[in-house]
């Protein structure tokens, strides 16, 4: 089954936020936690708008 890609603007936003997190936070565990929260927040909004 083929998965749909995210819109280009959303991919750009995620990429920029991940870069910002990696620059600001030195602790690797904290980085991973924040990036995970970012993905949860983005996909939560996507699922909310689809309903």
pTM of full prediction above 0.85: no
- Residue from 4, 23, 36 nearest 14 by CA: 36
Residue 19 pLDDT class (50, 70, 90 cuts): very high
The whole-angstrom separation of Cα 40 and Cα 6 is 14
Are 18 and 38 a contacting pair, CB within 8 Å? yes
**pLDDT tens digit sequence for 27-45:** 999 999 999 999 999 999 8
**Domain residue spans in the chain?**
13-50
| Percentage of the chain exceeding pLDDT 90 | 71
- pLDDT at site 1: 59
């Amino acid at each position: 089954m083929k998965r749909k890609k995210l819109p280009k603007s959303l991919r750009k936003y995620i990429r920029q936020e991940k870069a910002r997190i990696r620059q600001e936070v030195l602790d690797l565990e904290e980085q991973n936690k924040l990036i995970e929260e970012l993905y949860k927040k983005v996909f939560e909004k996507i699922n909310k708008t689809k309903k």
